[in-house]
Amino acid sequence: MKDKIVQYVEEEYDAAVARRHYIHQHPELSFQEYKTTEYIENLMKEWDIPYQRPASGTGLVAFIEGDTPGKTIAFRCDIDALPMQEETEVPFKSEQPDVMHACGHDMHTANMLGFAHILSGHKELVKGKVKFLFQPAEELFPGGARSLIAEGFLDDVDAVYGMHVNPMRTYDEISVRKGAITAGSYVYKIRVIGQGGHGSNPSNAVDPVVAASAVVMALQTIVSRNIHPRDTLVVSTCMIHGGTKGNIIPDFVDLEGQIRSYSESLAGMAQRKIREIAEGVCAGYGCRAECVFEDGYAPVINHDAAVELVNRAFDKMYYAKLNVLEPELGGEDFAYYLRKTEGAFFHVGIRSAKEAPVIPQHNTHFLADDRALKTGMEAFLRILLEEE
């Protein structure tokens, strides 16, 4: 049965699609979203929605206050694109060479704009305050979330909600779950240091290539021999750089890889084991290892009470049916909002049909079905009403 929320979404849908196509055609990289921010800013002015620009230079935080007191509820979208050449043939294909919205942030931004426009015309739906976080640079560490938090934009927020499109689900599906839904991401770098020489006489050198190869293989035992089968941990060596010519044994070889886990303690254990293995194996080959660890994003861990509220809201959805979200090992800086305050992160499907091929995010052919905008706008509205 249709209600006023569905009516508002249907009235907004065509404009939301047009905005999404414009944003998709004009993608910008992380911390470079100047024109995207200007586009959002102009709409806020047109709709008479107050806003602030963060010190980072891109992104925007807008807000609408209701006539009655209540909570301050924040909603977040990310606005940046990826350094990839789009290979779709849609009429709104990216006009920027080697830049495209291959992760669905154009959908997130258009969804938030539609939500904000609906509320600007129906302020009776707002009790307290609604904040719209148009966040820059989710795709590039250290990300934009922590800078918005550092500037105090969440200091008065009682709860925060965000969404991400999901190519595994159709546009009429929506999903959420309690607990961890994305993994923490951590980078390790290992320099294996030996002594260079001529490839024809390795006995006069200390070969870091052989030592580095042994390190790569030994790192595979971290998961297989240290982690309970019920736990989730990934340790992947993804880059090896060493040498300049086929007959020169180099002085050093660089390795770089990723740790992914829903548990920060497990990730910490993996870092300790990486250091122990690298240093021990290299010593056995007469080399030495220098290890550096860089933190990426923390795990996104939904709050139980917020998920229960979202479930109640989504039970009233007209455009989508509710599914349980399967956790994934990708990273998301929405994690830091959930460390600051209560909230939840959920997924909206974007496939056109169940028989349609699954094209993953960060793929040059990635594309979302516009109809998912109806699902996203309704979801934000249902959550807001449930919060009140």
**Catalytic residue positions?**
80, 138
Longest Cα–Cα distance of the chain, Å, equals 82
| Phi and psi angles of residue 299, each rounded to the nearest 5 degrees, phi first | -65, 145
How many Cα atoms within 13 Å fall on the side-chain side of residue 199? 10
Lookup result for tokens 């998961």: 223
| CA neighbor of 208 nearest in space, from 238, 168, 240 | 240
- Listed in sequence order, the residues at least 6 apart from 126 whose beta carbon sits closer than 8 Å to its beta carbon are 64, 65, 66, 70, 119, 384
Q: How many CB atoms lie within 10 A of CB 241?
A: 12
Do the beta carbons of residue 152 and residue 54 sit within 8 Å? Answer: no
Q: How many CB atoms lie within 10 A of CB 224?
A: 9
Distance CA 161, CA 146 (A): 16
